[in-house]
Amino acid sequence: MDYRQVYSFDRDGYFRAIVNQNADEITGVYPQLFFATDIAPPAYNKELELLRFLKGAWILEDLKERGVFYLKADAAEALEIVKKDISLYTKIEPLQKYDDGTAQAFSDVLLVWEYVIKGLELMRQAKITQLQHDFNASKKITLQNGKTLVIKHDTEERPYFLKMLEECSTLSGADGAAFIYEQKTDEGVVALRILPEIATYIFKDMFIVILDNKMKTKVNSRIHNKTTVYNFAYERIHSVSTIKQLNAIHWNFSHPAGLIIDVNDKANKMLVDSSVSDYAKAAINASKDPISGEIHIVKTLAELAANS
């Protein structure tokens, strides 16, 4: 029995199936075609294309996919894409967008978005990050004394240390007062116990000495000066409106890498300094190691207890 293959499609012309039609046994006539054609369609990729019969001929249409997609080249959003172009898109949400020339692209290697052109806002953020880093670095205090004591910008005991230093000028070592500071470290609690006069001398690089209207000496922490520099730079960074203005902003903190104090060097200078009291010099000599001759003022609580 004779038969023919016809290709059915829906009301919109989209291919549905291949159908075998048998001819009428008496007349030999094939049934009338209804939403079908005997014109064979071209080869196509079912995963990426659609077959459609339109105006007497088969055409290929791109298969589309709906959703939220972002073009990897520039993060442009699309709610519908051609499926054959899916490698050009990602569903991973892009970084924050800025209307200042900032551009971003998706890295197929790292599978993350990256800013490829940084505009004013991103450069402003980077400038503030650098300012904060430099500010924190400049606030580090390193006391080299056999045991190295490091007081960073975020050391828990730092506020107390600064407060005690600013009170040094009001204390009298001769009256038995002492500068006392303790800090938790990996070795345990480390302590610094010295006369106010010695503390003021050792840490004098941290202070600005000024005279009030009665010509009395006042000591203020340079930390306040650093804060003034930081605040001025911070406000300028936020106020500029162009990248050129932003690039023109610079700052300079005193001791940019932090203050490094060699206790022995400072103490030896005190011993030959005529302005230093005999009482303070005696205290320094009493702190000397009997073997090495080095002056140790930074000790663990156990060492202090053993020497008391």
Interval 28-35 mean pLDDT: 84
What pLDDT sits at residue 210? 47
Contact in structure between 179 and 192 (CB atoms under 8 Å): yes
Give the structural domain span for 50: 3-62
274 shares a domain with 206: yes
140 shares a domain with 70: no
At 106-116, the pLDDT tens digits run 999 999 999 99
Long-range Cβ contact pairs of 204-210 (< 8 A, separation 24 or more): 205/255, 205/259, 205/261, 206/141, 206/165, 206/259, 207/165
Task: Give how many domains the chain has, as a whole number.
Answer: 3
14 shares a domain with 76: no
183 shares a domain with 107: no
Q: Which of 79-83, 213-217, 233-237, 259-263 has the lowest mean pLDDT?
A: 213-217
In terms of pLDDT, which residue wins out, 193 or 71? 71
The CB-side HSE value for 77 (13 A sphere, CA atoms) comes to 8
187 shares a domain with 149: yes
Helical H segments across the chain, by residue range? 120-138, 158-166, 196-202, 222-239, 243-247, 263-271, 278-286, 301-307
At 120-129, the pLDDT tens digits run 999 999 999 9
213 shares a domain with 200: yes
71 shares a domain with 25: no
Q: What percent of the chain has pLDDT over 70?
A: 89
Residue 211 has pLDDT above 70, yes or no: no
134 shares a domain with 58: no
196 shares a domain with 95: no
58 shares a domain with 83: no
